[in-house]
Amino acid sequence: MSETTSSGELAPPSPRISPIAWLGALLGVVACFGGMAIFLAGCAGFGAAFKLGLLPLIAGGAGLVLTVLGGIVRRGGVENTNLLASVLVNVFAIVGGIFEWAFANGSTIFTIGHK
């Protein structure tokens, strides 16, 4: 009843993220922080800050495209979770940019009290 272990070595770690995907992730993080700064400035009373909501939208879209291209260029397999994190950060930036841009243009996304 003894257990045997394989004498083979562990598989090498997945390759590092490609520079294209790294740039996409960087754009996503910058877009998220920029969108948060725009949101906080808008909540502090600077309503004109929401007009800058197009910047996180564009940066998040460019970051998403670069992340997908970087994932296609260098395949990392299932264990490459940094690509998934980069995609999610870019999607957050895109959604936040859409909300800020819509609010700046007077859209009625959240119609509270209207029937």
Q: Is residue 111 included in any domain, yes or no?
A: no
Model pLDDT for residues 18-74, shown as the tens digit of each residue: 888 889 999 999 999 999 999 999 889 887 888 898 999 999 999 999 998 988 887
Q: Model-level pTM?
A: 0.76
Number of domains in the chain: 1
Structural domain containing residue 96: 19-104
**Percentage of the chain modeled with pLDDT above 70:** 75
Of the chain, the end-to-end C-alpha distance in Å amounts to 73
